[in-house]
Copies of this chain bind each other. A is one copy, B any other.
Amino acid sequence: MSFRHGLRLLYSQLSLFSRELNRPGCRYVSSSLALSSEKRASDFSSFVARTNTCGELRSAHVGQEVTLCGWIQYQRQGLFLVLRDFQGLTQIIIPQDEAHSHVKKVLYDAPVESVVRVTGTVTSRPPGQKNPKSEALRMQYRYLDLRSFQMQHNLRLRSQMVMKMREYLCNLHGFVDVETPTLFKRTPGGAKEFVVPSREPGKFYCLPQSPQQFKQLLMIGGLDRYFQVARCYRDEGSKPDRQPEFTQIDIEMSFVDQAGIQRLIEGLLQYSWPNERGPITTPFPSMSYAEALAEYGTDKPDTRFGMKIIDISDVFRSVEIGFVQNAVNKPQGTVKAICIPQGARHLQNKDFESLKESAKSQFNQEVLHLILKPDESLKSPLSKFLSEEQQSKLIQALKVQADDMVLLAAGEHEKVCLVLGNMRLESANLLESRGLVLRDPTAFHFLWVVDFPLFLHKEENPAELESAHHPFTAPHPSDTSLLYSEPAKVRSQHYDLVLNGSEIGGGSIRIHNAEQQRFVLETVLKEDPKLLSHLLEALKCGAPPHGGIALGLDRLICLVAGAPSIRDVIAFPKSFKGRDLMSNAPDYITPEELEPYHIQVAWPAAEAEANKN
């Protein structure tokens, strides 16, 4: 539907056919909405006074003058209206100049469900409009949006897929579905946890980010195999495509190792995978974190396409270019590149400039480009510094062909990998916007990423360590002794599951030894172990070796459904800013209502002033 694509119509002519009072009942022709665009072949606008249906408008229509007929779904003080027909919704923008004041008046008086004809030019939503009106409208009238084919399909797909997962876990593999509390205690470092005031003065519950502690306690409690479709909470302020409450398939098993969890999840996904998406093959390939970083510049490689990062330090070691020499001679210094096949044909100068700009602004890193011309010569500011032998070595190492474009960066290994990993994805986006297909939308590439570091140096103070994932992750069996000597070098038993370049799950084998857990908390992480005393105490009482995983359900369903955003697979999502635009939550409540919880609002100065007046 045009509404979904953010298209809108700039009004130029309007006819009001009939005014209608609201009559409760089923005026919204929801059944017709179930027509998907794939199945539509008929011309619905022959013989009648319209050129198109609301549901037909696509990006291709931008700039065309079209005429639509339909019902006024909603209108706002003569600013815009939402027009509905049996196939979809279109937002109609009404010009605000004097010449159109009569239209404004007519619309202001016309109740919703009035029937109108509108002629105008199709526009796409203004670029840079962060919270686009049409998106906000979808959220405000979510119950109407839910009637769309796509939302009906996505929610039903989600329900069915979760049901199959439950059958696999519960019926086939003896897992116990256990509900764990969401009113819990603050966890160490839980800065993103919502707080919930209690009736005891000064005491707060927290909404946990995951049932991590509970699932470990269930293993200690002898439940053996646990799962839960768990509601989790994370207060991240405004992050795109994140929700303050989200759902994970949460799993924990006793007496299991990393391979055991991986085989379980492969079986789970294979069993629950929707037929119409084709079969998936198992086992999923596996890659170490170091390999993923070196070849794809990320811990979640999209393996649907090539353009891998290639180390060309050897070629450049003897090249007399200042910045290259600077880079190569530092510890961890490298020169690396990616090759964009046919990049010179499909990308323009401004594309390369924008890539360069992005590397500069995001990573403060210079990126150079080379093009192999059809006559096999290299076009680049670099080429004059390279001997013919060096040029041919470079072409060989990168397997460059005519019209390919190479992006090259020199510097510290990790940084260069991250930059080129980013360039790789940005170039792919650019190429696809020019009509090429690099990432088959029907392909599903799963990948295990393993052997993560157990600890990371803190950004703000590199002398201190923090958990790469969480403090309960067990060290890699080969690295256990290093834990006590060189903890920064220890790899963990953490594993991530990646699908088409998105992280859809992560888990680990846990520490089940109280002393080791205490050592990690106290000595390595310098955390106050008191906040976790209940877990430390529990680990002393006969904890079986155990491990688990959590799959991000919203993201997984989003990928399976091919939806543009996780908001398209959640019935009532919140906006970027964490608002429910339908009910207008969060909302003000009275000081009297806060009284039982012994809290009061600490108004920022400006608002406190405004409140006084």
Report the nearest B residue to A517, measured CB to CB.
Answer: B24
Contact of A179 among B247, B539, B601 (CB under 8 A): B247
B residues in contact with A218, CB < 8 Å: 143, 146, 571
B residues in contact with A152, CB < 8 Å: 222-223
Contact of A184 among B177, B580, B594 (CB under 8 A): B580
Provided the pairs A203-B586, A514-B24, A572-B180 are in contact, do residues A197 and B198 lie with their beta carbons within 8 angstroms? no
**A231 to B177 CA separation, bound complex (whole angstroms):** 14
Provided the pairs A176-B156, A571-B180, A585-B183 are in contact, do residues A202 and B541 lie with their beta carbons within 8 angstroms? no
B residues in contact with A588, CB < 8 Å: 202-204
A22-B540, A179-B571, A196-B207 given; name 20 further pairs at CB < 8 Å: A22-B514, A73-B541, A112-B540, A146-B217, A151-B221, A152-B222, A181-B245, A183-B586, A185-B580, A185-B583, A194-B205, A195-B589, A205-B585, A206-B585, A206-B589, A217-B582, A595-B602, A598-B601, A598-B604, A600-B600
**A146 to B544 CA separation, bound complex (whole angstroms):** 14
Q: Quote the shortest CB–CB distance from A374 to chain B (angstroms).
A: 56
Contact B181 A574 (CB under 8 A): yes
Contact B214 A146 (CB under 8 A): no
Q: Please list 30 pairs of residues, one from A and one from B, whose beta carbons are closer than 8 Å in the complex, sorted by A's number.
A: A22-B514, A73-B541, A143-B541, A144-B541, A146-B218, A146-B221, A152-B222, A155-B223, A159-B175, A162-B177, A166-B166, A182-B245, A183-B194, A183-B580, A185-B580, A194-B197, A194-B205, A195-B594, A196-B196, A197-B197, A198-B578, A199-B235, A201-B602, A202-B607, A203-B588, A204-B588, A214-B571, A217-B572, A231-B231, A598-B604
Answer whether residue A512 sits at the interface, using C-beta atoms and an 8 A cutoff: yes
B residues in contact with A594, CB < 8 Å: 195, 602
**A542 to B74 CA separation, bound complex (whole angstroms):** 13
**A67 to B354 CA separation, bound complex (whole angstroms):** 82
B residues in contact with A335, CB < 8 Å: none
Answer whether residue A47 sits at the interface, using C-beta atoms and an 8 A cutoff: no
Report the nearest B residue to A245, measured CB to CB.
Answer: B183
**A194 to B213 CA separation, bound complex (whole angstroms):** 23
Q: Quote the shortest CB–CB distance from A544 to chain B (angstroms).
A: 6
Answer whether residue A186 sits at the interface, using C-beta atoms and an 8 A cutoff: yes
Report the nearest B residue to A554, measured CB to CB.
Answer: B179
B residues in contact with A206, CB < 8 Å: 585, 589
The interface stretch among A26-34, A394-402, A423-431, A467-475 is A26-34
B residues in contact with A146, CB < 8 Å: 217-218, 221-223
Within A565-613, which residues are at the interface with B (CB < 8 Å)? 570-572, 574, 578, 580, 582-589, 593-604, 607
B residues in contact with A600, CB < 8 Å: 599-600, 602
Answer whether residue A513 sits at the interface, using C-beta atoms and an 8 A cutoff: yes
**A185 to B167 CA separation, bound complex (whole angstroms):** 34
Provided the pairs A235-B199, A593-B195 are in contact, do residues A185 and B585 lie with their beta carbons within 8 angstroms? yes
Contact A181 B572 (CB under 8 A): yes
Contact A221 B24 (CB under 8 A): no
B residues in contact with A514, CB < 8 Å: 22, 24
Contact A143 B221 (CB under 8 A): yes
Contact B571 A178 (CB under 8 A): yes
Within A149-192, which residues are at the interface with B (CB < 8 Å)? 151-152, 155-156, 158-160, 162-163, 166-167, 170-171, 175-186, 191
Answer whether residue A317 sits at the interface, using C-beta atoms and an 8 A cutoff: no
**A214 to B580 CA separation, bound complex (whole angstroms):** 12
Answer whether residue A135 sits at the interface, using C-beta atoms and an 8 A cutoff: no
Q: Quote the shortest CB–CB distance from A355 to chain B (angstroms).
A: 35
Within A518-558, which residues are at the interface with B (CB < 8 Å)? 534, 538-544
B residues in contact with A26, CB < 8 Å: 542, 544
Contact A197 B199 (CB under 8 A): no
Answer whether residue A147 sits at the interface, using C-beta atoms and an 8 A cutoff: yes
